[in-house]
Amino acid sequence: MSISIPLISSPVSEPWTAWALLVLLVLASLANVLQPGVVAGSFMTVLAKPERQYTETQHTVLGQICLHLFQMGTLAMAYYLLCFQTGAFTAMRYGVILLLIAVLYGAKVLSMLLVGYTFQLRKRCASIGTHYGNLICVFCCCLYPVLLLLYHYGVTPFLRVLLLVLTGMFIVLVFLKYCRAYLVKPMALCYILLAVLTMDVLPLVGAYYGTVYILSQRFV
């Protein structure tokens, strides 16, 4: 008489995880197909001046939707794999984390629009918004291979440090973009630091602790 031994739930043991990673890759590919050169253009503008305009890439609604879904899905999976320790690794939990990332993502966009409207910087904010979107694209493209390593090997010390380095580089690049766009006098540096901490660092930290809270609950 055979006795079935239940397997411990983990990213590797759950088939949906591999499918989710594949869907994210398909979304990134579709975004690049529908908007030829969008990924390569994002990498090219990493160190470019924010006031410079780029018209080589023709944006489409469907292409932008695919790109945003890839970015939010990649961030959500990264938080899930980073914070997961015990319990069931389920698609429902991933969906709740994805919803959290989408809310923070939308709040970031609204805050940038509000700043542009309040201080009459709509044209400049539109320019910095384009470069900021390119930085997120680059960040998520670099993050995706790390997701594959997290999926296969778990959260090792090396991968944890690698995630911190990637995130730190992203924050530094955002800070430099803001400085090149808004730094007209030394006093403005204080406001730029506050803006980066409020609109970039705080959402990343909030998403981390929000994910930890979600994984500690039993409603998902």
Q: DSSP of 156-181, one letter per residue?
A: -HHHHHHHHHHHHHHHHHHHHHHHHH
Ranked by mean pLDDT, the top range of 42-46, 57-61, 78-82, 183-187 is: 78-82
Q: How far apart are the C-alpha atoms of 119 and 114, rounded to whole Å?
A: 9
Contact 137, 39 (CB under 8 A): yes
The three-state secondary structure class of 11 is: coil
> Which burial class, exposed, middle or buried, applies to 183 when counting CB atoms under 10 A from its CB (0-12, 13-18, 19+)?
middle
Q: Which residue type does 55 have?
A: T
pTM here is 0.87
Could you state, in order of their start, the residue ranges of all structural domains in the chain? 15-216
User: Could you tell me the CA-to-CA distances from 77 to 108, 140, 146 in Å, in that order?
Assistant: 19, 11, 11
Higher-confidence residue: 141 or 47?
141
pLDDT for res 4: 47
pLDDT digits (tens, 9 = 90+) for 91-134: 999 999 999 999 998 888 787 767 655 555 555 555 677 778 88
Q: How far apart are the C-alpha atoms of 133 and 27, rounded to whole Å?
A: 16
**Separation of CA 103 from chain center:** 12
